[in-house]
Structure 1
C-alpha cells in the first residue's frame, strides 16, 4: 500500500506507476516445478485497488518458457510500468493505492514487492536503472522493448520485463561430489587415471571446438554442457610446486567459451586436497554447466570453442573434452561421476596404505 497525494490526478508531472516483485518457489524447486504442465501459459498478475474499488483492467504478463525455467535457479524479478493513461480517472480523489501481486501457478510465490509513482523528473532515472539492470542480469523480455532504451514514447505504454537471477545462484554448494543436479553447475576434480572416453570430443591440448546444431536453443531435451580437462605439472617446473604455500593460496581453473555471439568465462577454485593431487600425477577437472548459464550465447551458432587454463603457470592442460548433455545422457553421466568417485576413494585408500 502506498499513499497518494491529494492532487495526483491533476498533476501533469505524474507519468505512471512502477512495480517490482520477486518470484521464487520453495526449498525444492525441482520437485515442485516438475509437476507442472509446461504447455500451460504462466501468468503474473497485479491487482490494483483504491478506496473507490478495483482498478481496471488487471495488469498481467505471460512469461516465456525460458523465463519460467529461471524459477529453478533462484527465481526471477518482474518489473512493470503502467502509464497514467491506463488509470483513466480511477485514482481521482483517492488517498491510497494497494497492489496484490500473484502468479497463476500455486508453486510460484511472491517473496517481496514494491511500488513507486513515476514523475517526470523520475522517468529518466527509472529508465537508466532498468537498462543498467537488464545489461547486468538479463536479456530484456517484454511487450515494449523500447522503454529501457529511453524512447520518448515509452511513458505512454504498459511495459513488462523479467530479470534473470544472478548466475551465482546456479551453483548449489554440496559436500557430496556425486550429487549431480541437471539444473545446477557441477564442479569436481578427480585423479588423472580416470577414463574420459565418455566425453567423446577430445583434444590433446588446452582448447577444443565442437559443432552445434543451428536450432540447439529450441531443443527441449538439451540440458547443458559437460567439460573435462586433464591438468599436470610441467616437468621443468616440478620443483616450483614444492615452494608454493598451499594453505595460503587459491588455485583457479578457468574455461573460456567463445561462439559467434560472444565470450563467457566459467571458473572453479580447487580445494587444497585437489590441489595436492598434482604431486600424484595430476588431476582431471570435470564440470557441467546448465543451458540457462549460456543464455542466448549459443542461439543460431554453428560452433563453440572452449579453452581451459589454470592461474598457475606451472600447470598445463594435456587433454580436454566437451560434450553436449541431453536428457537421455543424464543417467550415463551420473554413473560416470559415481565411477570417478569410486576411483577417487580407491586412490585415497592406496595413499593411506603407503608406508611413510
Structure 2
C-alpha cells in the first residue's frame, strides 16, 4: 500500500508500507524479567467517559502476550482527563478481568480526588489511603503514584518521609513507588524534596531503606539511563528497579554485570507483541533475538515520547486505532488534538517500519481517511493502493 505522508515543512512524501512482523502470542509469564505495560483507555465517542468493552479488551490483549497490566497510571490519562470517579471504576473492572484471565496487574493510587494545589499532609495521606483501599480491594499490587498535591505542599524530604512512612506500614502487600520526572508532569518538579536529582535520589533511597519489606520496587521515569543504573545498584536486596525510561529500555532491561531493570513502561502499550518477543528471547538466552525484536521499536519510542513528552498518550491511542484495537481515534478530554499532523504521520511510518500493524490494509485505510479529514487528500495515483 502506498500513501503520501505530510512533513513539517509542508511537503508530501511518498511512502510504501512494509510487511507486518509475526509475533507469536503466549500468556505464559516471563522467567527472567517482570514486565508491565502501562495501558491506555478508550474513550466513549458517544459522550460517555470510557468505552468499557474496548478498554478491557485491550488489557486482555496485553495479558495474552504475557505482559502485566499497569492500570490507572499516567498512560491512562491520570491527571489529563480521567477523574477519580471513573478511575475507581476502571481499577475495579480491571481487577476482575485480571482474576478471570490470570493476568498480573498493578494499579496506581494517588491523590487526584483532592483539589489542585497545596493541601495539609494529613489530607494528602488520607487521599492516598482512600485510593489504596480501592486498589487492594481489586486484588492489585499498589503503585504509590507521585502526587501533584504532595509536590505542591512538601517542603523537605522529611515531609515525603512522613506521608510515605504513614502509608507503607498499612499495606497488605509490598507496593511499587513511583518517581515520574517533570518531563512527564511539570507539576512534579522537585519531587522527594529537592530539584537536585542526587539529593532526591538519596531521600528516596533513605525511604526505601526504612521500609524495604513493604517496597516491591520503584518505577523510575527520568529518561536518564546513567542515573537509573546508579540508583539500581544502590537499592536494597529484593527491591526491583522498574524502568520507566521509554528512550533506553532495551539496554536497561538487558542489564549488565551488576544487574538489570524490570519494566513498567508506557511504550509497551503500542509495542506489546514485539516487547513480549524480546523478553522471551531473553528468557531463552537469545541475545540476537532480543535485539532483533526491540531495535526497530526504539526510533518509534523516541519519537512517541519527544518533547512535550506528556503528550505521548496521543500517539499511543493513535497507534491503537491504526492497529485495530479500537474503532475510533478519540480521547478523553479531546487529547487527540495534542500532537501535530506531521508528528502522527511520522509515528505511522515508524510503527510500520517496526512491523507493528497486524493488518496493513486496515492501517492504510484508516490513515488515508484521517489524512483526508486533516485536509490532506490521497488522490488516485498519488497514494492510492498499489
**TM > 0.5:** no
TM range (shorter): under 0.3
- Using structure 1 for the length normalisation, give the TM-score: 0.23
- Using structure 2 for the length normalisation, give the TM-score: 0.21
> Greater strand percent: which structure?
1
> Greater helix percent: which structure?
2
Q: Which has the higher contact order (CA 8 A, sep 6+)?
A: 2
